[in-house]
């Protein structure tokens, strides 16, 4: 791969590091906002010294995410790695997220029927029950409570484990292993946690192949029996669904609560008129900079786009946080506005890799925000926002808070 720059790109001497620490938990770093002002594509420097293209323009990101020359194959030696923990061998072979068609197409066809809007909406009563029971526990324990461990992590974790078909007696083990996986800060720890989870999922797969049951793992086991995928692929798919669904939704719950509390007038409107919550969720998806990348890719051929030349072997990072604040698309892009009606954001990506679980994520967020602020209308953070501990950039580009102490 070459780092030769085109005439429109950032000079090599000014290539900034990526990702960079934040000062506001739910907003991209000021340095990245300034970088986006230079143009829709700029080079950034990764932790290992390699350069990659950071895409901050909405139209350019949509175009590149739909371009078959921009690959998701993480086994490609030129694929951009954003943190040491992703050096782990397991992180380089990833189903769904890290696969191109036709493999990706086959896997999505198996999953899509389980994630339709109708199927997901049918889960609302159960997600309301899960959320209500967790809030009951918070109330019983009494304030202060860490909202991350008490609610934000629990809702997607319990929901996804039930969707997968994890037996009730294994739920605690399953969540513990998954939690360790999310918090691993280096490649060795990640690999150890991943191996434990993969071994567990493999045992489940073997059992399901003997007698497929309900849940996603049963659906995929039938695919194995029909020759549509291998057991290893089944395990990888379930693993990715767990990690992707757990990490992103839990982060959005925490950062979403923080954002709403930081905008009390709009939160008061939501409390008075809960019908505003779906629109507010869309604005949170746009506004909250959950991740600095909405897609990691590597170019397999030269690509010309709007005067920029991406060469074969170049890493390409779609910055969801910057793309969703593109002033060419959104008026007042850095203002939070629950009355904004546009859904033109890339929180769930675009193209063939658009998030299969987006309906589920929206539903979980709607339920949590509605129940939490109805049950605990005086909820507030007990420390200044700038003192809330943030996830380190060494963990990678997905942002979250480590703790969110609240009272009511």
List Cα–Cα distances, 179 to 183, 199, 248, in angstroms: 6, 16, 13
pLDDT at 148: 92
Band of residue 3 on the pLDDT scale cut at 50, 70, 90: very low
Name, of 136-140, 158-162, 191-195, 294-298, the range with top average pLDDT.
136-140
Range of lowest pLDDT (40-44, 91-95, 246-250):
91-95
Q: What is the mean pLDDT of residues 10-20?
A: 71
pLDDT (tens digit per residue) in 361-387:
999 999 999 999 999 999 999 999 888
Selection from 392, 317, 347, 256 nearest residue 32 by Cα: 317
- Give domain limits for the chain: 12-407
Residues in the chain: 408
Question: What pLDDT is attached to residue 392?
Answer: 67
To which H or E segment does residue 75 belong? none
pLDDT classification of 23: cutoffs 50, 70, 90:
confident
Q: HSE-up of 367 (CA within 13 Å, CB side)?
A: 27
pLDDT (average), residues 207-230: 91
Domain 12-407 has CATH 3.60.10.10: no
Q: Is the pLDDT of residue 264 over 70?
A: yes
Distance CA 72, CA 230 (A): 20
Instruction: Give the per-residue pLDDT at 92.
Output: 62
Strands of 140-199, DSSP E: 145-146
Is the separation of the CB atoms in 26 and 289 below 8 Å? Answer: yes
| Span 320-327, average pLDDT | 92
Among 69-78, 179-188, 276-285, 398-407, where is mean pLDDT lowest? 179-188
Sign of CA dihedral 29, 31, 37, 41: negative
Inter-residue long-range contacts of 178-186, CB under 8 Å, 24+ positions, other chains counted: 178/242, 178/243, 178/246, 179/153, 181/243, 182/243, 182/246, 182/247, 184/85, 185/85, 185/392, 185/394, 185/395, 186/84, 186/85
Name the more confident of 291 and 61: 61
pLDDT interval class at 26 (50, 70, 90): confident
184 has pLDDT over 70: no
Mean pLDDT value across residues 245-271: 92
- The whole-model pTM stands at 0.90
DSSP 149: I
- What is the average pLDDT value for the chain, to the nearest integer? 87
Q: Which of 300-314, 358-372, 391-405 has the weakest average pLDDT?
A: 391-405
**What confidence tier does 334 reach under pLDDT thresholds 50, 70, 90?**
very high
Q: Tell me: the pLDDT tens digits for 79-118?
A: 998 877 677 655 566 778 888 999 899 889 999 999 999 9
Cα atoms in the Cβ-side hemisphere of radius 13 Å centred on 120: 19
Say which range, 13-27, 31-45, 202-216, has the weakest mean pLDDT.
Answer: 13-27
Phi, psi of 58 (to 5 degrees): -60, -50
Q: What number of other Cβ atoms are within 10 A of residue 340's Cβ? A: 20
pLDDT for the residue 8:
41
CA distance 398 to 408: 29
Q: Quote the percentage of the chain above a pLDDT of 70.
A: 90
**Contact between residue 64 and residue 55 where contact means Cβ atoms under 8 Å apart:** yes
**Gap between the Cα atoms of 37 and 42, Å rounded:** 10
Distance CA 10, CA 45 (A): 11
Cis before 19 (ω within 30): yes
Find the mean pLDDT for residues 299-314. Answer: 97
pLDDT at 88: 60
- Give me the mean pLDDT over the 239-249 stretch: 81
**What would the mean pLDDT of 20-38 be, rounded to a whole number?**
87
Average pLDDT over residues 122-133: 97
Give the per-residue pLDDT at 9: 42
Say which residue, 270 or 390, is predicted with more confidence: 270
Residue 183 confidence class, pLDDT cut points 50, 70, 90: low
**In this predicted model, which residue has the larger pLDDT, 128 or 173?**
128
Instruction: Write down the residue that tokens 């086994």 correspond to.
Output: 75
Three-state secondary-structure class, residue 177: helix
Task: Check whether 27 has a pLDDT greater than 60.
Answer: yes
Angle between helix 264-272 and helix 231-261 axes, rounded to 10 deg? 110
């Amino acid at each position: 791969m070459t780092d030769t720059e085109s005439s429109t790109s950032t000079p090599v001497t000014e290539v900034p590091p990526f990702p960079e620490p934040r000062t506001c938990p739910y907003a991209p770093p000021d340095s990245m906002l300034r970088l986006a002002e230079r143009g829709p594509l700029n080079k950034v420097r990764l932790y290992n010294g390699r350069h990659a293209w950071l895409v901050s323009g909405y139209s350019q990101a949509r175009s590149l995410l739909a371009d078959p020359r921009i690959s998701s194959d993480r086994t490609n030696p030129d694929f951009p790695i954003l943190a040491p923990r992703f050096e782990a061998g397991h992180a380089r072979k990833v189903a769904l997220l890290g696969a191109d068609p036709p493999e990706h197409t086959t896997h999505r066809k198996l999953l899509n029927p389980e994630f339709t809007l109708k199927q997901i909406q049918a889960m609302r009563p159960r997600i309301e029950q899960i959320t209500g029971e967790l809030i009951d526990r918070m109330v019983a324990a009494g304030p202060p409570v860490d909202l991350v461990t008490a609610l934000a992590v629990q809702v997607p974790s319990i929901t996804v484990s039930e969707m997968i078909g994890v037996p009730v007696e294994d739920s605690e083990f399953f969540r513990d292993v998954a939690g360790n996986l999310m918090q691993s800060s280096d490649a060795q720890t990640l690999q150890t946690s991943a191996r434990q989870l993969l071994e567990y999922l493999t045992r489940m797969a073997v059992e399901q192949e003997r007698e497929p049951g309900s849940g996603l793992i049963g659906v995929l086991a039938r695919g194995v029996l029909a020759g549509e995928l291998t057991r290893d692929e089944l395990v990888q798919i379930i693993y990715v669904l767990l990690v992707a669904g757990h990490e992103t939704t839990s982060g959005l719950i925490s950062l979403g609560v923080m954002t709403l509390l930081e905008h009390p007038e709009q939160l008061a409107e939501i409390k008075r008129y809960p019908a505003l919550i779906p629109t507010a969720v869309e604005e949170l998806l746009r506004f909250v900079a959950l991740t600095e990348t909405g897609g990691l890719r590597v170019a397999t051929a030269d690509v010309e786009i709007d005067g920029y030349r991406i060469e074969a072997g170049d890493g390409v990072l779609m910055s969801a946080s910057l793309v969703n604040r593109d002033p060419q698309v959104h008026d007042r892009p850095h203002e939070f506005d629950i009355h904004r009606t546009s859904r033109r954001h890339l929180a769930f990506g675009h193209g063939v890799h658009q998030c299969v679980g987006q309906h589920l994520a929206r539903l979980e967020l709607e339920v949590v925000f509605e129940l939490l602020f109805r049950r605990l209308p005086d909820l507030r953070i007990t420390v200044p926002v700038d003192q809330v501990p943030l996830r380190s950039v060494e963990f990678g580009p997905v942002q979250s808070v480590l703790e969110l102490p609240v009272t009511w």
